Amino acid sequence: MNMATLLEVLRIARIALVAAIGTAALTACGQPQESSPAEVAVAVPVEAAEVIYYGGDILTLDADNTVAEALAVADGRILAAGRAKTVFTHHTDATEVIDLGGRTMAPGFIDGHSHYFNALFLAEQVNLYPPPAGPGADVDSIVAELQRFAAASEIPAGQMIMAYGYDDTVMPDGRLLNRDDLDAAFPDNPVRVDHISMHGAVLNSRALEHYGIGAETETPPGGVIVRKPGTNEPWGLIMETAFLPVFEQTPPLTPEQEIAGTQAAHRMYAAAGITTAQEGATHLHQLQALTRAADAGAHSIDVVVFPFITDVDKILAEFPLELWGEYRKRLKIGGVKITIDGSPQGRTAAFTTPYLTGGPSGEENWKGELFAPQEVINQGLKKVYGLGVPVTFHVNGDAAIDSLITAHEFAAADDPTRYRNVTAIHAQFTRRDQIDAFVEYQIRPSFYTLHTYYFAEAHIANRGPEQAAYISPIRDSIDAGLRPTNHTDAPVVPLDQMFMLWSAVNRVSRAGDEIGPGQRITPLEGLKAMTLWAAEQYGEQDSKGSLEAGKVADLVILNRNPLAVDPMSIKDIRIVETIKDGRTVYRAE
């Protein structure tokens, strides 16, 4: 047998093998065969796959919302997704074939907004979320958990104890954590308990002394320092601009902690099905730490950072503009962050009408405050537009959203309707007329539908039932033609993408009440808000967000199909495996 004949025999054998595997895959999928082996043979020759997945629903989220039978991957990218008989033409002897076993595959989840850098520290801090996410049901349980952690960790006198997740809106009978509670339990340790909004903290006396805050400390504009009744002494809770000096003094990580914290953070995000994470408010020292970790090869998923407007000049001096917008070792500077107001549950978001419950320090006729005068916000946005990079705005109250629109009209006066990749982060109390402005000016809202579960009762008390029901108006935004994203704002609430999807689809509160059912969206729309539309937020829609040939193989495998289960069961769906660039970065035990 000469060489040409041998090659022809091998070619025919491969065609027969491909056809047989394709037939087996179709049979396993329960699909009818539409082509003979000869027809399959005519279809190809094609590139070889490293891996082929089949045997479950593969939600491509492409323009036709195709549910594919199989998906092929090579060199970290998707070769094909569609009918098994076509995808299996990429099979060779070296191809690994994986049967999903009835499970569901979807694009890897893209984080619309969170505070990734905080995740590097969480292993060394105390979880004080209220139930069901943590033990912080009341002041006594908070103090007890802090004591348990201190004892288990053998924390010596003088060392700071840090915690996160304190939610004052669910404390029974309005009994709030204060400095005296922490002083009684920890007379020899500074204690910092971060508020669930991440916009403040409760500090004991030693922590207040550590951060230089006392009776003589004036409350800065846009800030809150709660004082002990009848005195000028801080009573523990500080918020917003008064908290910024505390936040900036967070102790730096050692080089070893940077690597270990990065690896732990990536496991946390990947366990939630996330393949692209956001660090949503970045200072220079944080970007330096993230860059060192990336250079050390510690990044297993992509991370996009958005430097604070106040740090932009310092960051540009070290990271010139030509380094922005491109991944380097899975780290990308994505744009600039501008914060305009605070949190609605903390009563520091800026509204056009007063809070029904007054201000956090008992202020009357309290509407909250912008963090800066409008002219400062205008000039800040004009600077960002001059750089030509994306911008994300933290806006919660309707007055803050008005401020964003005003700043855009000023900074983009030459052509306010041109697309500039502007995202309104949270945009929770968006009015209907503001949705029209978002459409006109091509501003993307990134909503926070988890508030319908975690903070609905606080919003009803603070803002009234009508305004609370319209929080995160994602249905009206989609109907108006927008493609909004959705996010967790972790660690403000736990990193749980399926629970986030559940909240957008069902809008049910912690108490079991419907919160604005007219703003519910479909599970398919909810998935797009955390995949394809989120990819658009990062300008990465050509490479991420859907399962199509040529895109990166960022994949998540779920134990059930969120498009097929009872909507109330979506929160119970579990992440089975997360795959980044074709490589598994998380697999459930």
Q: How far apart are CA 548 and CA 77, in angstroms?
A: 9
Q: How far apart are CA 455 and CA 440, in angstroms?
A: 31
pLDDT in tens, 359-405: 988 899 999 999 999 999 999 999 999 999 999 999 999 999 999 99
Q: What H or E segment, with its residue span, contains residue 394? A: strand 391-395
- The pLDDT assigned to 45 comes to 54
Residue (of 240, 435, 208) closest to 345 by Cα position? 240
Check if the beta carbon of residue 110 is closer than 8 Å to that of residue 534.
yes
The arithmetic mean of pLDDT across residues 218-227, rounded, is: 89
In whole numbers, what is the pLDDT of the chain averaged over residues? 91
By the 10 Å C-beta count (0-12 exposed, 13-18 middle, 19+ buried), 539 is classed as middle
pLDDT in tens, 223-280: 889 999 989 999 989 988 899 888 777 777 888 889 999 999 999 999 999 999 999 9
- The pLDDT assigned to 199 comes to 81
What is the SS3 string spanning 468-521? HHCCCCHHHHHHCCCCCEECCCCCCCCCCHHHHHHHHHHCECCCCCECCHHHCC
pLDDT in tens, 150-191: 999 899 999 999 998 898 888 998 899 999 999 999 999 999
Q: What is the DSSP letter of 425?
A: E
Whole-number percent of the chain with pLDDT over 70: 92
Note the pTM of the prediction, 2 decimals: 0.83
Q: Write out the two tokens for 390.
A: 């994306």
Domains plus CATH for the chain? 3-102 (2.30.40.10), 122-248 (3.10.310.70), 259-587 (3.20.20.140)
Q: How far apart are CA 501 and CA 487, in angstroms?
A: 9
CA trace torsion 113, 119, 120, 126 (10° rounding):
150
